[in-house]
Amino acid sequence: MDYFTASPKPANLDRQVTLARAFIQQHAEQHRRVALVTSGGTTVPLENQTVRFIDNFSAGTRGATSAEYFLQSGYAVIFLHRQFSLLPYSRHYSHSTNCFLDFMTHNDAGAVVIESEYQQQMAKVLDQYRKAKRENTLLLLPFVTVNDYLWLLRELAIQMQPLEANGLFYLAAAVSDFFVPAARMVEHKIQSSEDYHQDVTNGDGDRPPAAHMEDKRLIIDLDPVPKFLKQLVDTWAPRSMIISFKLETDPSLLAKKAKGALQKYSHHLVIGNLLNTRKWEVLFVAADGSERWIRVPLGRRTRSVTGKDGDTIENAEPREPSIEIESWIVPEVAQMHTEVISKGKVEMQRH
């Protein structure tokens, strides 16, 4: 059965699509390019009334940072993101690395002001944020589950069809590969104790529920998520530029798998990255078969510690890139998008 026939439509989908429709229409009229940037991880609920779910590592750094550079490059951005993950602009002052209160102080008159050392950077971020608000170039649409994500992606792609080649898909979200189909999801919280009888009748007939207790063990038996990229390229967004990301942990697999994805789905670009180095190097694999690493310099280690014998040693802090790699990725992508658009125009003139 088709995924969307078998999976419940999210309750807030129509409202999100209405917002997107108006946003896309505005930018289509202004002949502005629109990038759909996906960001953060999707969850896989194990129960309908969800207490437990499977999640992944993604904080949405790639997506939120890239969205800012798309806006700087003149795009309007639909930011399809995991609820409460990093957001463009506020990412500089949110989540665990920076508490926004650390940026503030009292002045002599007792008013709360920004610490002088942060003024310049914050003024820059604030200007960009205000510009995006004034021009209505950033639309934030949240998802939580993989089901929310798939429904939204399909509906947004359909809404973006009138943009034709001016539409761009930049799929940086970490989307679950496995999920619990609605027909095999239990209604209530899975009970860990055998003292409480659990109704396990919500299987699909032959199979038990995807998550259930058996001999005091929690058994989780997930189905594969359908390959939505194929449908996006062939059916939902056939005229847009489509860029997917490929994450691996084994360096020897990255290029092979990125090339495999391009061959399988015939889209425009796969950006490969490794979990541990993703902030400073990515691999561009393009439809013409070319492969190219983009690497930004790493900054110096900022902290050193004194060893047992009194020597100063570099500590084991991971090094951070001195430049945000997205500030190199996005202009390259925008340039490729320009080429795709002009190629499309030449092809249209030929017909």
In the complex, the smallest distance separating the C-beta of residue 187 from ligand PAZ, rounded to whole angstroms, is 30
The one among 59, 77, 87, 225 contacting ligand PAZ by CB under 6 A: 59
In the complex, the smallest distance separating the C-beta of residue 69 from ligand PAZ, rounded to whole angstroms, is 14
Distances from the Cα of 89 to the Cαs of 132, 136, 237, in angstroms? Answer: 10, 14, 28
The one among 228, 241, 273, 284 contacting ligand PAZ by CB under 6 A: 273
Nearest to ligand PAZ of 59, 163 (CB atom): 59
For residue 339, what are the contacts with CB-CB under 8 A and spacing of at least 6? none
| Phi, psi dihedral angles at 322 (to 5 degrees) | -85, -10
Q: Which stretch binds ligand PAZ (CB under 6 A): 22-30, 57-65, 100-108, 153-161?
A: 57-65
SS3 of residue 177 by DSSP: coil
Distances from the Cα of 157 to the Cαs of 38, 53, 90, 91, 228, in angstroms? Answer: 12, 27, 26, 26, 12
Taking CB under 6 A as the criterion, which residues in 234-263 touch ligand PAZ? 245-247
62 binds ligand PAZ (CB under 6 A): yes
175 binds ligand PAZ (CB under 6 A): yes
278 binds ligand PAZ (CB under 6 A): yes
180 binds ligand PAZ (CB under 6 A): no
Amino acid letter, 143: F
43 binds ligand PAZ (CB under 6 A): no
Order of all β-strands in the sheet with 138-143: 138-143, 76-82, 34-39, 167-171, 241-248, 269-274, 281-286, 291-295
Task: Read off the DSSP letter of residue 39.
Answer: E
Q: Which stretch binds ligand PAZ (CB under 6 A): 15-23, 88-96, 171-179, 305-313?
A: 171-179
How many residues bind ligand PAZ (CB under 6 A)? The answer is 13
Cα–Cα distance, 14 to 107 (Å, whole number): 47
The one among 60, 88, 167, 209 contacting ligand PAZ by CB under 6 A: 60
Please report, as ranges, the residues that interact with ligand PAZ according to CB under 6 A.
58-62, 172, 174-175, 245-247, 273, 278
